[in-house]
Amino acid sequence: MNFFVIGCGRVGSELAFRLYKNGHKVVVIDKNREALNGLPSEFRGRTIEGDVLVEQMLERAGISEADGLAAVTNSDTLNAVVAHIAHVVYKVPIVVARNYDPAMLPVLEAFGHQVVSSTSWGAQRIQELLVDPSFRTLFSAGNGEVEVYEMMISPAWDEKPLGELLRDNPDCLPVALTRAGRALLPNTETVLQAGDLLNVSATFAGIKTLRSQLVSGKEA
């Protein structure tokens, strides 16, 4: 596949090299030659020094043949504009924009593109580890608004139904339950056992409520 990476800072450089190592054709554009020189020496993709907003820059670089574009500069405004041009003007099938400033996230989302906010996601993940590292995050959707967590059922909930644990907690849904190495799809009538590993999909508010319930052994 053919991919364009706009911006060759730490994120752009790492992304471009990962795509290249996985067998894709990669074009990297940055107005700073030193940034392009920071790519790993093994990188054999195409590098272009210049302002991506200069007329016909993307077209001359072959954007019409791109399968995807990632705008990962440190400017949220530039990322939004480039992503919009790629999607609307050049009909690039997959467009992803990096969000640097959380205050700008709603602006990027308004364009309707996929947005990755490393700042917001990273802050939430650190918060989770500080609050209770025993709850392991298995998967993060979007920018961390919803995640899949794994936690161990405490003795306080031994022999109690799962429905009782999740009652009045609409921000927390069961995904899987593992017992003695075997996984099953649980429902509200599934009887819990101490030591079970429960996977749930939840918002941060939902997992916070679930944490307190597991400790207290009582419903919210």
Give residue-wise pLDDT tens across range 139-150.
888 777 898 998
Q: Given this model, what pLDDT does residue 214 score?
A: 81
CATH of domain 124-216: 3.30.70.1450
Q: Given this model, what pLDDT does residue 112 score?
A: 80
Residues contacting 159, CB < 8 A, separation 6+: 191, 192, 193
Examine the pLDDT at 215 and tell me if it is beyond 90: no
Spell out the domain ranges in the chain. 2-116, 124-216
Give residue-wise pLDDT tens across range 89-99.
999 999 999 99
Higher pLDDT pick, 220 / 172: 172
CA-CA distances (angstroms) from residue 129 to 15, 17, 125, 133, 138?
26, 30, 6, 4, 13
Q: What is the mean pLDDT of the chain?
A: 89
**Does the 2-116 domain belong in CATH 1.20.1250.20?**
no
Give residue-wise pLDDT tens across range 102-131.
888 888 888 887 888 888 878 877 877 677
Helix (H) or strand (E) holding 165: helix 162-166
What is the reported pTM?
A: 0.69
Examine the pLDDT at 218 and tell me if it is beyond 70: no
